[in-house]
Structures are given as C-alpha cells and as structure tokens.
Amino acid sequence: MTTSTATGIEGSLDSLKKVKNTIIGNPVAKLNLAQEGSVHLIIEWINAVVEGEDPRLVERVRIEAAHVISSLSYRSPLALNYLLADGAHQALLHALQRLQPSDSDALKCALARAFKYVAVAIADTVGPPLWGLGPQRIEGEAMNEARRVLEEIFYPEALDIYLPLLADSSTQSSIIIASLIASALRYSPHRKAVTEWLPPADRVKETKGKRGWERVELIRTDPSSPSREGGWVARHLMVMIRGRNVRAQEAALGALAAITKDNGLLASILLRHIDDVEPGPIHTLVTLSKSRMIEIRLASALCLPQHMMAASSAPDFSLTLLGVLNNIIDATKESRNARMRACFTLSTLVTDDKDLQDTAYSCGTLTRLHTLLMETTPHDETEWPEDEPEDSCRLREGVFTAIATSTLHSDPVRRALLNMTPPVLSAVARSTTHIDAGVRYAACQCARTLSRSVQVLRTSIGDSGLAMSLFGLMKEEKDMRVLNIAVMGITNMVNNFAPTRAILIQSGALKKLVELIKPHDDPMRLNATWALRNALYRSSSEEKRLITAELGWDRFSSLLADAVQAVREQAMSCLRNIATSDQDIQLLIDGLGSEKLSEVLESSIEAEDEESVTQALHALSNLVSVGTPFQRELILSRVTILKALGVCLTHSSTNVRKAASNCVAQLASKEQQLQALRDVGIEDILHVMASGTGAGATGGPGIGMGARKEEDQDTRDSVRRALELLESGMRER
C-alpha cells in the first residue's frame, strides 16, 4: 500500500497495538475481528510505503501488523480462513522478499514469525497432526484452499524467499525458519523440496556439474557438490545444532527430525558426510539427548530414531535413548506437554521393532507408562469432566499410544502389563467413553493390541467389560477414525476361542458390522469384512447361516469382486472359512450360485496380487477336499480354473506355489479329476517341479512354461504326493 499522506499513521499504530492486545489468547475476539472485514487492511500494512513519513514509524506499524497476523493465525481456524482469503501468506512472502539491508532485525523477525505462524496453522488444518490423532478434518472449500496454499508455501519460488534466512546474520531469524520447518513439514513431497533446495547460485553450479546418469545420493556425497552432506538446509541445521544457542539447537533439532522423517537415505547421508566434523552427527545427537534442558533432550530424542535406523547403531544408543525417555516420562515435575512428547517419541522409536519393544520392557519403560496412566486416569466410575485441560487429554493419548506400540509384538510383555495393578484394562475400557476423540482412539489402539494375545482373550478381556465398551463405540461413535479402530479391536474379540464372541454376537455385533460395510469407506469396509472373517473361522454351520443371512449374498458377492484388493482378500478368506463341510459348501452354492462361485474363484486365482491368489487357492482346496463329487463337478465346470491352477504352479511366489501344489494334491486324491489334471498339463508341470526335467522345463508354450525344479521343501512334498496320487490313480483305472 502506498499513500501520499502521513495523516493518521500514529493512530494506526495505536489501533494495531490495541487490536493485538485484545485478540491475544482470545479466540472470540479473533473471530470477531476477522468477521468485521478489517483483516485485509491489516494485511495491507505489511507492505506499506508511506511517502514523507519517518521510515522508522512506518516500520513499527508493519511490525505491529505482523504481530496481529501472528496472533490471528494461532489456534483460530476460522480466523485463518479469512487470512487465507485475503492472501496473508502472499503478502508476507512479498514483504520478506523486498527486505532491505537497512531494515531492522525486528521487522525481519516479525515478518518471518508471522509467516511461520500462518504456515504452521495451515499445516495443522490440512494435517496430519504433529502429535496424536488431531481434530477431524472437514472437507470443503476452505480445506481445499488450505491445501492449495500449503503447496504454494513449499514451491521453489517460496523457498527461495524464506529458506536463506537459515543462514541469516540474525540468529532469531534462523530460529524462526528452523521452527517453521520443524512444525509445517508434514508430507514427503514437501520434505523432498526442502531437503533438495539450493540457493539460486548453487543451483546453477549444481546443474552445470551434474551428469544425467548420476544418482542423487552420489551427488550429495561429492565434497565439491552444493548438495553435499545432505544438502544446504541440513548443513545449516547442523551448524545451529553444534552452536551454543539453546533455542537455536532446539529449533534445528526439530527441523532435522522433520526433514529426515521416513527418509532413511537422507539420514544415512547425514550420518556419513556432514562436515567431516568429529564427533559425528549421531554422537552429537546422543550427547544433546543428555542435556540438562528438557526441550533439548526431547528434540534430540525425536531426531535420533530415524538416524539410529539408518546407521544400524549399536544397542547402547537405544539404551541411552530409552533411558532419556524413561526419565522424562517419570519426571512428575515436568510439564504434561513434555511427558506427552516423550510418550509419542517412544512410540515412534519402538513401532514395529520387537527387539526394541523387548528392550524397552527390560528397561522398565512399561512400568513407568503404567504408573503414568494411573496418575492421569480416575479409578472410579465418575463422569469425565467436560472441561478437562487439553494437555491432560494429549498426555493420556500419548500414554495409551506408547503402551499400544510397546506391547504390539510380544505376548510375554502384554501379560506382564496385565499383571500390573491397578488393572490397565479397566483404564482402557473407561477411556473409550472419554469426551476427547484422541483419547478414545488411543484406548482402542490399546484394546486392539492387548487382544492380539490368545491367553488375554481367554482370560482378562472377558472380565474387563472391554468388548462391550468397544461395541458401545460401534453403535454410537461419530468420529469415523475412532469407529474404525474400535472395529479393529472387535475383530480380535469375535474369534472362536474368545469368550467375548458369544456376548458380542448375542448383542448384535454382527448386524452392526454388516451395517458398516459401506461402499464409500474403504478402510471401514475392509475392517468390518475382516471381523466377519474371524467370526466365520471354525464357526458352526448354524453360525455360518446366521452370518451369511445377516450379510446377504448380494453384498457378499460384491465384496468378492470389490475394487480394493485387501477387501477382496478378506472376502475370499470368508469364503474359505465357510467351506469346511459339504453342508456348508452347499450353503455357498445355493447362496452365490455355482456359476458365480466358479467365476469368483477363477478371477481370484488369476489375480495379480499374491495374497488374493493364495487365499483363492486355499478356498479352492477346501471346496475340493470336503465337497461331494457333484459339488466338485459344479465348481470345476470351468476348465479354465484348472488351467489357472497350473499357471499358479509356476508362480514366482513360494506361498502361491505351495498353496497351488496342495490344491492339486487334493484334486489328485479324487478319481473324477485325474484325467482333467492330465488334460491341462498339470502332471507335466509336477514332474518338472519334482525333478527339474520334463516338458515344462524346456520353456515351451503352454501353462507349464517357466516351470522349474521346486526348492521349497513343503511345496516339493505336496508335488510328490500329488504325483503319487495321479500315477496310482491312473494305474488303478
């Protein structure tokens, strides 16, 4: 904005200060200001040029306007919509771009800080959240606009404006930009853009020196390359981390964690090549994880897991990190926020790593988590307070999440947790009714993990009332994310060996599961079908009739042909679990029709994905082994099924070949199928698999093309059994 008069500029400064003081920490005031329609006027002051006025006064106005924008964007999603509509991010980028050496550090920092707050607010809106489940995202025009703006913020043109501030003479500016990276990077493409960014001059140098066939990781390890040592951003973050400014270290550690998340290649490059300074980066991170400053300890701990995985580090680093996290989790004098972050960092560290989960248990981590859970969860049946502090909710969510991941892969660890007092399952069941969706979700995660244990299902789960708590969520939950994880917990509890199975079925769980099989919700359809599969496993014929009647044959047929591969796989498992007697096979034939049943089997056996093929072969094996001769004739009326079976014997997957050879052995035991197996060339393929010689070994045309001597012992045993049955059967004829 350019104006020829200075009239009122001091009044504008006073007004902006009053606005700032009014809206700080006041969401209602923020929304009122946004709805008044004056946001665009505040944004205009960001780039104001007032002729004839003292530049220092104009600068003060611009700084106050930036402060107001920072406050408006902080924890005020509705006010953020107005900021985006009026182009706040573009105005701030323009202001940062036109900064002059004569401009003060105060202006530079105010503009950078406002841009950071806007960027982080947009990232919070779009998701995923930095910690925990986060609020449900509401799709619509505002969400689409937020996504569009977030993309713009990580365009190269935008990065060229604000990333150079990482190397600014003002440490405060560097801290702000590092903090932006730490908090606003949520998606891999954005991480890639930031990681690979170079200043324009270096970009030209890199392009001239780069040969098309060179891999990016090789370029990054070239000591003369601008992309060396993980890239420009990573190098400058490490400079900040190795410095003595605590706030700079904290921000840079968070940024380093953000750019290396899910990027093992970058983490390994950083570990090998940053600056050739001793001690190496991982030693620096481990040292900082022992800092007296809890924020530094937490930031280092968040950084370490990815780097440890990339370095395949020695166990003592894991023990060191677990010790750091244990101390923070134990520290009753520390803030709830700090302990919450320690819980989520622990969860990240041990996820899908059984050895680390066992190590964590040995270090006493589970005992500490149990203690913290009992500190934060009431033991009586009183109602949850509606105004429970946000940090209390996030801490409880973090504890449940850490417990769920720490017990995921070990029965002994799960049993050890359940032997602790007060009983953890009571806290889990209670928390499924919490007003906060994140707490309910994390409690359901715990329920799902703990119910993976057969012994737990047979004993503790039934007495805790947890199954009915999850069923209550299935009936009433409005948040689809929580509902989905509740169904995943129910999936374990309807198994045939679970005492909870009977009460869930009697209470109407099957009907509710069928209701949740919706065409527009792929995850829910998958999990509900999975639960039905478990309910059908080793069920009685009467139960199978009950379940299939509830499901309906048309819906079952649709699931078997679902567009989502994982759903088709679970539906085929349902079919397999039904087909365990000739009576049950007749139920399938009457319900689906023999033609449809054959069609589904054929298409699944010819599918491209290994799991679907394997499940279809197991189902066919069941149908063949227990069906009557008439039923087998109906199912195998399509000769193409046998041809497809022959192709599966030459499949690249051992699991598929094993299932196919077992199915052939079942068929070879039935006299009616002997000639058909020979007619389609399956006997020749079996000879090749058994000895490496025969018609199929030549690679000639036909279904045996590509057959080779089988290396897997179990498959070879099935092949030999099938050959013996074929040869003895043909001799007897």
- Whether 619 shows a pLDDT value over 70: the answer reads yes
Classify residue 17: in a domain, yes or no. Answer: yes
So what's the pLDDT on residue 385? Answer: 82
So what's the pLDDT on residue 311? Answer: 60
- Whether 208 shows a pLDDT value over 80: the answer reads no
So what's the pLDDT on residue 698? Answer: 40
- The two structure tokens encoding residue 134: 């986060």
Classify residue 500: in a domain, yes or no. Answer: no
C-alpha–C-alpha distance, residues 189 and 180, integer Å:
16
Classify residue 469: in a domain, yes or no. Answer: no
Mean pLDDT of the chain: 89
Classify residue 71: in a domain, yes or no. Answer: yes
Mean pLDDT value of segment 161-190: 97
End-to-end alpha carbon distance in the chain: 98
| Most confidently modeled range among 117-131, 260-274, 623-637 | 117-131
At 546, which amino acid appears? L
- Whether 229 shows a pLDDT value over 70: the answer reads no
Mean pLDDT value of segment 135-151: 94
Predicted structure pTM score:
0.90
What pLDDT digit, counting tens, does each position of 589-606 carry?
Answer: 999 999 999 999 999 999
- Whether 703 shows a pLDDT value over 70: the answer reads no
- Whether 571 shows a pLDDT value over 60: the answer reads yes
pLDDT-based confidence at residue 310 (cuts at 50, 70, 90): low
**Between 166 and 678, the higher pLDDT residue:** 166
For residue 126, the enclosing domain spans: 2-153
Per the structure, how many domains does the chain have?
1
pLDDT-based confidence at residue 49 (cuts at 50, 70, 90): confident
Classify residue 28: in a domain, yes or no. Answer: yes
pLDDT-based confidence at residue 1 (cuts at 50, 70, 90): very low
- Whether 581 shows a pLDDT value over 80: the answer reads yes
Mean pLDDT value of segment 459-469: 89
Classify residue 118: in a domain, yes or no. Answer: yes
HEC-encoded secondary structure of 617-686: HHHHHHHHHHCCHHHHHHHCCCHHHHHHHHHHCCCCCHHHHHHHHHHHHHHHCCHHHHHHHHHCCHHHHH
- Whether 5 shows a pLDDT value over 50: the answer reads no
Mean pLDDT value of segment 540-548: 96
Classify residue 26: in a domain, yes or no. Answer: yes
Cis peptide before 156 (omega within 30 of 0): no
Residue 509 vs residues 501, 516, 550, 594: alpha-carbon distances, Å? 9, 11, 11, 30
DSSP element (H, E) containing 225: none
Contact 490, 474 (CB under 8 A): yes
What is the three-class DSSP state of 134?
coil
Mean pLDDT value of segment 10-26: 93
- Whether 279 shows a pLDDT value over 70: the answer reads no
Classify residue 463: in a domain, yes or no. Answer: no
Mean pLDDT value of segment 308-327: 75
Beta strands in 5-137 (DSSP E): 49-50
Report the CATH number that the domain containing residue 112 is assigned in CATH.
1.25.10
So what's the pLDDT on residue 315? Answer: 42
- Whether 2 shows a pLDDT value over 90: the answer reads no
